[in-house]
Amino acid sequence: MDSFLIQGGRPLCGDIEISGSKNAVLPILAATLLTREKCIIRRVPDLSDVHFMGKIIRSLGADFNYENGIVTIQAKRLKARGDYDLIRKMRGSICILGPLLARSGKASVSMPGGCVIGTRPIDLHLKGLKALAAEIHIRGGYVHAKAGRLQGAEVFLGGRVGPTVLGTANIMMAATLAEGVTVIESAACEPEITDLAHFLIAMGAKIEGAGSPRMVITGVDRLHGAEHEVIPDRIEAATYAMAAAATNGEVTLHHMRCDHLAAVLDKLKEAGVRMEARDTSLKILPGGEISTVDVSTQPYTGFPTDAQAQLMALMLKAAGLSIITERIFESRFMHANELARLGADIAIEGPSAIIRGGLPLSGAEVMASDLRASAALVIAGLMCPGSTQVNRIYHLDRGYEGMDKKLRSIGAKVKRVKER
């Protein structure tokens, strides 16, 4: 396995192009299974999760080609079984369930895997498909679903911690080929859901209300091929913005959407980060004294859980106490113990992390536990004087396109090495 070896204590300076969104592209790739015709997806990030999804799509009998950020898919014929050996590696792959069932009338999909950040059940996915008249059984670690033609229905997708993003994606994809009208109440409002809706509409779907808690989908008999460009990755943008602020750097992020980051930018301003925000770019300026902030993660449009770990790393720079409360996943503070190896003082009290910032930090060897925890450790390593080795960076390769190259392009001393 690879590691990042970071020589910290250097301000970042330069320009970064934000890649296409990991969380948007995976459901969009799954949605191509709804048609026999060719689909072309542009601005697809070069990530291990994307290539895993490509393997899954090929295993289902479809053609999948990735070249220079462009994916071409044609699923003339489909197998209806998503195998364990592939799906166990990536939780996002569960989003093939809705398209397979809608198009083939049956689907057998392994229960998914992914990062260890707490319980992420698929009960709302299954509840929604049952409401659309699917028959669901779970046997041997697989979800087995079958239906004649799915039937439109009213579906409520509110969960214990808010709407389900992947569940909303799965149900809306299935509903595009259902007979009649489907109304999804308490639908996820994330930009990634809106982006999926735009692609489905380009394929001929009839969808109203995407980006709001109430979505209305009128089923059609068939969908056709389409082309689509994926939205920018708002979490990647948030990560590099916090890295720039943490190192007192001057970095401009290009080809991004500031309107997708309102909650993050609000907290960065509250923390004293100097910035210039435009529609499609964000410039982080040096000279701001980082102050403590308190934040609770929430569904969109609130502060995203996927940026919580990175903010925790930034708060190590702020003298005083910050409190970060995690409301989405119950086991998403695994990075706190690793940050402590760098000198951080973080106490976990139930769903909250209490960070006493402003203490001296020093480089050390640390272990990444999940995708966003890895990003937090990289940010902390960039802040620390001395050498920091972040192990198990395969997590980063799942969600950040060429992070080491992008960081080097703005002055970071980051080297990819083999773990000892």
Contact between 119 and 330 under an 8 Å Cβ cutoff? The reply is yes
| Edge-to-edge strands, sheet with 274-277 | 13-17, 250-254, 281-285, 274-277
Q: Are 96 and 82 in contact (CB under 8 A)?
A: yes
Residue with tokens 């708002």: 234
pLDDT of residue 105: 94
Q: State residue 89's pLDDT score.
A: 66
pLDDT tens string, the chain, 420 residues long: the values are 899 999 999 999 999 999 999 999 999 999 999 999 999 999 999 999 999 999 999 999 999 999 999 999 999 989 877 776 777 667 778 899 999 999 999 998 887 754 443 444 788 999 999 999 999 998 888 889 999 899 999 999 998 888 999 999 999 999 999 999 999 999 999 999 999 999 999 999 999 999 999 999 999 999 999 999 999 999 999 999 999 999 999 999 999 999 999 999 999 999 999 999 999 999 999 998 999 999 999 999 999 999 999 999 999 999 999 999 999 987 689 899 999 999 999 999 999 999 999 999 999 999 998 999 999 999 999 999 999 999 999 999 999 999 999 999 999 999 999 876
Strands (E), 8-149: 13-17, 39-42, 63-67, 70-74, 81-82, 106-110, 135-139, 142-146
pLDDT score of 120: 47
Active-site residue among 39, 95, 115, 189? 115
Look up tokens 């996002």; give the residue.
Answer: 92
Q: Are residues 260 and 289 in the same domain?
A: yes
| 277 and 211 within one domain | no
Name, in order, each residue with C-beta under 8 angstroms of 206's C-beta and a sequence gap of 6 or more: 176, 217, 218, 219, 220
The whole-angstrom separation of Cα 395 and Cα 300 is 24
The answer to whether 155 and 128 have CB atoms below 8 angstroms apart is yes
Q: Indicate if 115 belongs to the active site.
A: yes
- Please say whether the beta carbons of 312 and 340 come within 8 A: no
Angle among Cα 249, 250, 252 to the nearest 5 degrees reads 130
Give the β-pairing of 294-296 and 345-349.
unpaired
CATH of the domain at 48: 3.65.10.10
Both tokens assigned to 142: 């697989």
Q: Answer yes or no: do 6 and 58 share one domain.
A: no
Q: Given this model, what pLDDT does residue 118 score?
A: 41
Q: Are residues 193 and 310 in the same domain?
A: no
**What pLDDT, on the 0 to 100 scale, is given for residue 308?**
97
In whole angstroms, what separates CA 416 from the centre of its chain?
23
**Which is nearest to 340 in space by CA: 327, 355, 326, 329?**
355
- 153 and 289 assigned to the same domain: no
Cα within 13 Å of Cα(181), Cβ side: 6
Of 181, 205, 229, which residue is a domain's last? 229
Chosen domain end from 229, 250, 283: 229
Within this chain, do residues 142 and 263 fall inside the same structural domain, yes or no? no
* CA nearest to 95, candidates 43, 148, 49: 49
Residues 224 and 256 in one domain: no
- Verify that 145 and 281 share a domain, yes or no: no
Q: What is the pLDDT of residue 208?
A: 98
Is residue 343 helix, strand or coil? Answer: coil
Tell me: do 149 and 210 sit in the same domain.
Answer: yes
Q: Structure pTM?
A: 0.95
Among 205, 229, 253, which residue terminates a domain?
229
Q: Both 55 and 143 in a single domain?
A: yes
- The H or E element containing residue 196 is helix 191-202
Residues 251, 15: contact at Cβ < 8 Å? Answer: yes
H helices, E strands: number in the chain = 14, 26
Total count of domains within the chain: 2
Q: What is the DSSP letter of 392?
A: -
Select from 226, 276, 230, 268 the least CA-distant residue to 250.
276
Judgement on whether residues 168 and 149 belong to the same structural domain of the protein: yes
What angle separates helix 123-131 from helix 165-175, to the nearest 10 degrees? 20
Range of the structural domain that residue 260 is part of: 2-19+232-418
By C-alpha distance, which of 398, 395, 403 is closest to 237? 403
